[in-house]
Structure 1
Amino acid sequence: LSGLVSLSLRTFAYQPAQDPAWFGGWTILYWAWWISWSPFVGMFIARISRGRTVREFIVGVLLIPTAFNLLWMTAFGNGAIWIDTHVAQGALAQSAGNVDALLFRFFEYLPLAKAVSWLAIVLIALFFVTSADSGAYVVDAIASRGDPRSPVWQRLFWAAVLGVTAVVLLLAGGLKALQAMTLVAAMPVAAIMAVLCIGLWRGMKADVTHARQDLSPATSFWTGQHWRKRLEQIVHQPTASDVKRFLQKTVLPAMRDVAAEMQRQGMQAQVHDHSEQEAGAEPGAETGTVRLVIPTPELRDFVYGVRPVKRKLPGFMLSEVADEKETTRRHVVEPITFFADGREGYDIQYLRHEELIADILRNYERYLSVSADQRTVLLNRAPGHTEGT
């Protein structure tokens, strides 16, 4: 553990390695070996891990095998070194070139040598059988495009092909040929793995977003009334004209009612309508927006604004109505709120007049609560205003 980081980053960039062949073979061979195995191992583990959480997957696939491998290497590796040094007097080291025989030579110095040797043969056989079975299963799944009803003979065929391929490679050049084939096969898979990493990241982000997605803010005020009208709005993909009509007939009247009531109670409040103006009509005005502004001395003004936002629809949601324009079919326009403090807005297209007033007052109440909190004073101060001015 103390040398894990230094050994992992040792590249011998400015000094020759003591054993360049070992160093190159260790990094390149094992790097390519596991990359070439990744399609088989990955699909097989994904198939048997269906329904598991990410935490369970990491523990079962990475941590437990790593801990077992660490225990095995520590017990048998250090045991072999100790026996070779104190008992065998270098006899095991002389067999280091023949890895297959070295394991059984080591067992000869342990109790129940024959039983342990037969157990090792059984475990090795199980390893090869399960590896070949998972490989045949994955190749068959790829060939049949994941069809679970693929015939048994097809899987047996792929198992036989894998076995014949391994035999040919071993006869052609033994382990060297198999290692060379592994290196060649790993190169294109490495490029695919880079793309798969991006896909995994996007999939994880989509999963987190899906799991944390709350109900629409419009649902907080809905009592179930006018449900037919609500359903019609949900299934209808709004256009820019729909949002503009919503701003004029629903949002602006609600803002004006709130502003009028505040003015009646001696407070300042203004409603700014830029929904009908063209770009550049007023400096600083955002085209298509409406906003309610309540100025507060020494603090940021309270702003409750709504702007039309165009959002591209996913391919599976594209409308198939032939007489609609392409831009309308591929995009939807939604009325999204915005605030002076930069908070993320939300869609309010389903809110009615009274519900919009409730949403405005809810955000204004939040504004007053946050402004009274001393911990947020740096964010609440008006731009350019400092303490004591």
Structure 2
Amino acid sequence: MTSSDSGSLVIDSLAAGGRSDTPWWQRSFWVVTEGAVAAVLLIAGGLTALQTAAIVSALPFAIIILISMFGMWRALRIEGHRNQSLDQNNKLPPHLLKPSAWRERIDYMTDKPTRDKVLNYIKEVVMPSMMEVSSKFAETGWTTEVNYDAANNRAVLELQRGDDVEFWYEVRLSEHEAPDYYTESSADTLPQEHYHRAEVYLRRGGQTYDLYGYKSESVINDIIDQFEKYLHFLNVSPDSLPWRMQAHDDAITLEQGSVLDK
């Protein structure tokens, strides 16, 4: 009885989208339904039929669990090599580390730029920096491409050599809620509910740091730093790794696309 009661409670919660405060009639429905199914199986074939039905219904979930186990093993192995090869630290940009740049450092920490300011920064600073890097790599025989995706507000640099080395560096506009101290209005300004960042994304996801405020030389150095880490990652990864780098899908749904399109 305890197992049946617990099972009915779980089914009821799943059917309600995870809610636990479901109405009494809904809980009663699942209790009666589960009891009726068990009674029919017992009458039709006894305990053997009930056990067979339980095994058959659990088989699809067992297959899903096996697939999930493989995915978990694959993800942990990739993450292990990534942690071994990449020592990522989100430092201030080099041009802000000069002793004489303390005023710029304060601006960097307190500025919460608007959407238009970040978009202009991506177009006027990031894109030309990517073009310079692309031009230099093209001189050395690399296949390069720089694009600006206006629909998703992002600038993308691709470096490729053969089938194995394919580097992707992207700077994307992202929107965030402004902290409480920033939304407090003053006598001559209105509160700003959101601020925007120029975040860096690589092939394996976002890097959780903001480029806004970097000068062109610092953007170029950041691209080269990430490329160097990527090459090191490939060097320490054995040939037996269970994946190959796949081409990035331009049609991928951006996490914040629905927000930025508004």
TM-score (norm 2): 0.53
Q: 1:371 to 1:226 in 2, by over 3 A?
A: same
**One-letter code aligned to 1:334:** R
In structure 2, what is the Cα distance between the partners aligned to 1:293 and 1:233?
28
Aligned pairs, how many? 162
Contact 1:301 1:340 in 2 (8 A): no
Q: Does 1:295 align with 2:160?
A: yes
Contact 2:145 2:158 in 1 (8 A): yes
1:253-290 CA distances to partner (integer Å, 9 max, x unpaired)? 1111100111112211111112xx3x3xxxxxxx1100
Cα deviation, residue 334, structure 1: 0.7
1:311-330 CA distances to partner (integer Å, 9 max, x unpaired)? 1123233141466555xx11
Contact 1:339 1:345 in 2 (8 A): no
**One-letter code aligned to 2:129:** A
Contact 1:300 1:383 in 2 (8 A): no
Secondary structure of the residue aligned to 1:254 is helix
Q: 1:323 to 1:273 in 2, by over 3 A?
A: farther
Contact 1:293 1:303 in 2 (8 A): yes
Aligned residue in 2 for 1:236: 111
Contact 2:170 2:202 in 1 (8 A): yes
Aligned residue in 2 for 1:382: 246
| RMSD over aligned Cα atoms | 2.9
**One-letter code aligned to 1:374:** S
Q: 1:13 to 1:216 in 2, by over 3 A?
A: closer
Secondary structure of the residue aligned to 1:369 is helix
1:23-69 CA distances to partner (integer Å, 9 max, x unpaired)? xxxxxxxxxxxxxxxxxxxxxxxxxxxxxxxxxxxxxxxxxxxxxxx
Secondary structure of the residue aligned to 2:161 is coil
1:291-321 CA distances to partner (integer Å, 9 max, x unpaired)? 1111232236211101111111232331414
Q: Does 1:350 align with 2:213?
A: yes
Contact 2:147 2:157 in 1 (8 A): yes
**Any stretches of 5+ residues in structure 1 without a counterpart?**
1-11, 15-213, 280-286, 385-389
Cα deviation, residue 230, structure 1: 3.8
In structure 1, what is the Cα distance between the partners aligned to 2:232 and 2:132?
23
Contact 2:134 2:146 in 1 (8 A): yes
**One-letter code aligned to 1:342:** G
In structure 1, what is the Cα distance between the partners aligned to 2:89 and 2:233?
24
Aligned residue in 2 for 1:217: 91
Residue pairs, 1:254-293, within 5 angstroms: 254-274=129-149, 277=150, 279=151, 287-293=152-158
Residue pairs, 1:1-389, within 5 angstroms: 216-219=90-93, 222-224=96-98, 225-274=100-149, 277=150, 279=151, 287-299=152-164, 301-321=166-186, 324=189, 329-375=192-238, 377-382=241-246
Structure ID, larger Rg: 1
In structure 2, what is the Cα distance between the partners aligned to 1:379 and 1:239?
40
Contact 1:304 1:360 in 2 (8 A): yes
Secondary structure of the residue aligned to 1:307 is strand
In structure 2, what is the Cα distance between the partners aligned to 1:363 and 1:248?
20
Contact 1:247 1:290 in 2 (8 A): yes
TM-score (norm 1): 0.37
Secondary structure of the residue aligned to 1:368 is helix
1:83-123 CA distances to partner (integer Å, 9 max, x unpaired)? xxxxxxxxxxxxxxxxxxxxxxxxxxxxxxxxxxxxxxxxx
In structure 2, what is the Cα distance between the partners aligned to 1:223 and 1:233?
11
In structure 2, what is the Cα distance between the partners aligned to 1:271 and 1:378?
30
**Any stretches of 5+ residues in structure 2 without a counterpart?**
4-87, 249-262
**One-letter code aligned to 1:301:** E
Task: Give the structure with the higher percent helix.
Answer: 1
Secondary structure of the residue aligned to 2:143 is coil
Q: 1:348 to 1:218 in 2, by over 3 A?
A: farther
In structure 2, what is the Cα distance between the partners aligned to 1:350 and 1:215?
17
Aligned residue in 2 for 1:153: none
Task: Give the structure with the higher percent strand.
Answer: 2
More relative contact order in 1 or in 2 (CA 8 Å, sep 6+)?
2
Identical-residue share of aligned pairs (%): 20
